[in-house]
Structure 1
Amino acid sequence: MSDEKIVIGVDGGTTAVKAVAFDLSGGIRATHHESVPVNYGKLGEAEQDMEAIWQGVASCLREVRAQCPDNEIVAIGLTGQGDGAWLVDRDGKPTRPAATWLDGRAGERVNEWTKNGKAEKVLETSGTTVFGGLFPVLYEEFAENDPDVLAASATHLYCKDWLRYRLTGERLTDYTEASRTFLDVTSMEYSQDMADALGMPEALRLLPPAVASDAPGGVVTEEAAAETGIPAGTPVGVGMIDVAVTGAGLRAVDDGDGWLILGTTGFVGRLQAKAADRKSNLSMVLATGRGSQVLEFLVPMTGTPNLDWIRDVLGFQDRGWDEIEKDARSAPAGSGGVVYLPYASPGGERAPFLDTAASASWMGMSLTTPNSQILRAVYEGVAFSLVECVDTLKMGGDLVVSGGGFRSDLLCEILADTTGQRVVRQEAPEAGARGAAVLALVSAGAAKDVAEAADMLKTGMEEFLPSPEKYDIYRRTHEVFKAARKAIQPVWPQMRELRRESEA
Structure 2
Amino acid sequence: MKYVIGIDLGTSAVKILLINQAGEVCLEVSKAYPLIQPQFGYSEQDPNEWVAKTEEGLRELVQAFSGNPEDIEGISFSGQMHGLVLLDKNNQVLRNAILWNDTRTTEQCQQIYEAIGKERLLKVAKNPALEGFTLPKILWVKQNEPEIFAEAHVFMMPKDYLRYRMTGQIHTEYSDAAGTLLLNIEEKEWSKELCEKLGLPFDMCPSLVDSDYFVGTITSDFAKTTGLAESVKVFAGGADNACGAIGAGILTEGNTLCSIGTSGVVLSHEERNDQDYQGKVHYFNHGKSNAFYSMGVTLAAGYSLSWFKETFAEAEDFEQLLNGIENVSIGANGLLFTPYLVGERTPHADSKIRGSFIGMDASHKRLDFVRAVLEGITFSLHESIEIFRENGKVIENIISIGGGAKNEVWLQMQADIFNATIIKLSSEQGPAMGAAMLAAYGCNWYTTLEDCANDYIKPSKTYYPIAENVEKYQNLFILYKKVYEQTRALNEELHTFRNITN
* Structure 2 residue 418 is matched with structure 1 residue 419: yes
What amino acid is aligned across from residue 475 of structure 1 in structure 2? Q
CA contact (8 A) 1:298 1:352 kept: yes
Cα pair 1:131 1:356 within 8 Å, conserved: no
Aligned positions of 1:316-335 closer than 5 A: 316=314, 318-326=315-323, 328-335=325-332
Contact 2:255–2:397 (CA under 8 A) maintained in structure 1: no
1:382-437 Cα offsets, whole Å, 9 max, x none, are 21111110111114211122234433434322211112211012221212111111
Relative distance call for 1:216 and 1:59 in structure 2 (3 A) is same
* AA in 2 matched with 1:323: Q
AA aligned opposite 1:194: L
Greater displacement, 113-122 / 223-232: 113-122
> Are 1:191 and 2:188 matched, yes or no?
no
Give the superposition deviation at 1:8.
Answer: 1.3
Shift of 1:322: 1.7
Corresponding residue for residue 227 of structure 2: 229
Secondary structure (helix, strand or coil) at the match of 1:337 reads coil
Distance 1:430 1:368, change over 3 A: same
Q: Which residue number in structure 2 is paired with residue 360 of structure 1?
A: 355
CA distance in structure 1 between the partners assigned to 2:423 and 2:65 by the alignment: 32
The letter for the 2-side match of 1:247 is: A
Deviates more, 1:48-57 or 1:135-144: 48-57
Aligned to 1:371: 366
In the alignment, the residues of structure 2 paired with residue 429 and residue 291 of structure 1 have an alpha-carbon distance, to the nearest angstrom, of 23
- SS in structure 2 at match of 1:424: strand
CA distance in 2, matches of 1:245, 1:129: 22
Distance 1:149 1:460, change over 3 A: same
**Structure 1's 280 and 93: CA in aligned 2 closer, same or farther, altered over 3 A?**
same
Structure 2: how far apart are the matches of 1:429 and 1:45? 32
| Structure 2 equivalent of residue 473 of structure 1 | 472
**Structure 1 position 44 matched with structure 2 position 41:** yes
Letter in structure 2 aligned against 1:206:
M
Q: Give the CA deviation at 1:7.
A: 1.4
Supply the distance in 1 between the matched residues of 2:125 and 2:403 (Cα, whole angstroms): 29
1:293-337 deviation digits (Å, cap 9, x = unpaired): 322222332332222222211142x43222222154454332222
CA contact (8 A) 1:140 1:200 kept: no
Identify the residue that residue 482 of structure 1 maps to in structure 2: 481
TM-score scaled by length of structure 1: 0.90
The change in CA–CA distance for 1:91 and 1:382 in structure 2 (over 3 A counts) is farther
For residues 298 and 436 of structure 1, the distance between their equivalents in structure 2, rounded to whole angstroms, comes to: 22
Counterpart of 1:252, as a letter, is I
1:128 match: secondary structure: coil
Partners of 1:236 and 1:333 lie apart in 2 by 50
Aligned to 2:176: 177
8 Å contact 1:14–1:264 — kept in the other structure?
no
Work out which of the residue numbers 241, 244, 261 in structure 2 matches 1:243. 241
Separation (CA, whole Å) in 2 of partners of 1:362 and 1:115: 37
Q: CA deviation at 1:42?
A: 4.2
Query: Is the 8 Å Cα contact of residues 273 and 294 (structure 1) preserved in structure 2?
Result: yes
- Greater shift in the superposed pair: 404-413 or 432-441: 404-413
Specify whether residues 314 and 212 from structure 1 end up closer, same or farther in structure 2 by C-alpha distance, changes over 3 A only: same
Q: Work out which of the residue numbers 296, 313, 337 in structure 1 matches 2:311.
A: 313
How far the C-alpha of 1:122 sits from its partner, in A, is: 2.5
Structure 1 partner of 2:10? 13
Tell me, yes or no, if structure 1 residue 130 matches structure 2 residue 129: yes
- The answer for unaligned runs of 5 or more in structure 1 is none
Letter in 2 for 1:50: P
Q: CA deviation at 1:466?
A: 2.0
Return the alpha-carbon distance in structure 1 between the equivalents of residues 172 and 445 of structure 2: 22
| Alignment CA distance shift 1:495-1:248 (3 Å) | same
Contact map agreement 1:280 1:393 (CA 8 A) in 2: no
CA distance in 2, matches of 1:86, 1:404: 31
Name the aligned partner's letter for residue 261 of structure 1.
S
CA contact (8 A) 2:171 2:207 kept: yes
Distance 1:490 1:443 in 2: 52
1:104 matched to which residue of 2?
Answer: 103
Distance in 2, Cα, partners of 1:137 & 1:477: 38
Shift of 1:241: 0.7
Cα distance change, pair 208–363 in 1 and its aligned pair in 2 (3 A): same
Unaligned runs of 5+ in 2: none
| Alignment partners' CA distance in 1, 2:401 and 2:199 | 38
Q: Contact 2:6–2:17 (CA<8 Å) still a contact in 1?
A: yes
Question: What code does the residue aligned with 1:54 have?
Answer: V
Deviation at 1:224, TM superposition (A): 1.9
Asked if structure 2 preserves the Cα contact closer than 8 Å seen for 1:20 and 1:31, the reply is yes
Residues 147-199 of structure 1: CA distance to partner in whole angstroms, max 9, x if unpaired?
223223332221221221222122111111111221112222111112223x2
**Distance of aligned partners of 1:96 and 1:365 in 2 relative to their CA distance in 1, 3 Å threshold:** farther
Q: Secondary structure at the match of 1:503?
A: coil
The corresponding residue for 2:261 is 263
Query: Using the alignment, how far apart are the partners of 1:495 and 1:431 within structure 2?
Result: 38
Partner of 1:56: 53
1:350-396, CA deviations, whole angstroms, 9 ceiling, x for partnerless residues?
21221122323333223443222222222222211111101111142
Q: For 1:450-484, what per-residue CA distance to the aligned partner results, in whole angstroms no more than 9, with x for missing partners? A: 22332342333421222334323322332222111
Change (3 A) 1:245 1:303: same
1:4-27 alpha-carbon deviations (Å, 9 max, x no partner) = 222111111222321111111111
Structure 2: which amino acid aligns with 1:354?
A
Which one is further off, 297-306 or 96-105?
Answer: 297-306
Structure 1 distance, partners of 2:419, 2:253, is 23
Q: Tell me which residue corresponds to 1:82.
A: 81
Which residue does the alignment assign to 2:207? 209
Contact 1:221–1:233 (Cα < 8 Å) also in 2: no
**For 1:381, which of 376, 382, 392 is the aligned residue?**
376
CA shift for structure 1 position 115: 6.5
Identity of aligned residues (%): 23
Aligned partners of 1:498 and 1:341: how far apart in 2?
20
C-alpha separation in 2, matches of 1:279 and 1:109? 23
Please state how far the C-alpha of 1:41 moved relative to its aligned partner. 5.1
Q: CA RMSD in A?
A: 2.4
Query: Whole-Å Cα distance in 1 between the matches of residues 234 and 120 of structure 2?
Result: 35
